[in-house]
Amino acid sequence: MNLVDRAKNILLKPKDEWQVIAGETATVKDLYLNYAMILAAIPVIATFIGGSIIGYGFLGVSYRVPIVPGIAGMIVQYLLGLGSIYVLALIIDALAPNFGGEKNFIQAFKVAVFSATAAWLAGIFHIIPGLGILAILGLYTLYLLYVGLPVLMKSPPDKAMGYTVVVIICAIVLFAIIGAIGGVIGGGAMMGGAATGMRPGG
């Protein structure tokens, strides 16, 4: 599996690529090392650069997250993000029988990993705070999920929408919890450095 080709194909021709993915032999370790750990670094590194190097500005006041808290926050968010993929795969796998699908954790993990491609790549826009809104393009991930679930989890096409909606709801709750945890862990350090990060004009 070539990372660049896989990312390009899953974005541009997802229906064909999910069929290819379904037939591949893979392990959780392979999927993490060769794909997830690389692409998941994009949004957190971009956010660090945008927040700690470039900084935010509004009405003549600029703010940069201090470097050390910024790095700490980046690491925390990265690890939590990778963990969330595993938990999401567990959810996808557990829900499969409820929508006429077959339980298969590796296939569920593939869905969780490869459907996240759009969100990870769209995270590059956080490198410039003013363009962060463009990360909304990552919502294409929802379509990738919708197309991939029936192929890999073998749920009937007529149940794909319901399956997708339930997985999305679970994912929203999951990421909200993870975001809260990340905020608690990284928030103290961020607040501690806030005073040094703010300055007029710059």
> Which runs of E-coded beta strand occur in the chain?
56-58, 61-63, 198-200
Task: Count the domains in the chain.
Answer: 1
pLDDT-based confidence at residue 200 (cuts at 50, 70, 90): very low
Residue 197 pLDDT:
39
- Residue-wise pLDDT for 93-109, tens only, equals 999 999 999 999 999 99
Residue closest to 55 by CA, chosen among 127, 137, 145: 127
Average pLDDT over residues 144-169: 92
Per-residue pLDDT of 65-95, as tens digits, reads: 788 888 888 898 899 999 999 999 999 999 9
Give the per-residue pLDDT at 23: 94
Confidence of residue 190 (pLDDT cuts 50, 70, 90): very low
Distance of alpha carbon 182 from alpha carbon 135, whole angstroms: 19
At 186, the pLDDT band (50, 70, 90 cuts) reads: low
**Averaged pLDDT for residues 19-46:** 95
- Do β-strands 61-63 and 198-200 pair in parallel, antiparallel, or remain unpaired? antiparallel
Domain containing 154 equals 3-200
Q: What is the DSSP letter of 157?
A: G
139 closest CA partner among 168, 111, 174: 168
Contact 65, 121 (CB under 8 A): no
* Arithmetic mean of pLDDT over the chain: 85
Residue 50 has pLDDT above 60, yes or no: yes
Answer whether residue 192 shows pLDDT above 70. Answer: no
pLDDT category at 18 given cuts 50, 70, 90 is very high
pLDDT at residue 59, rounded to an integer:
63
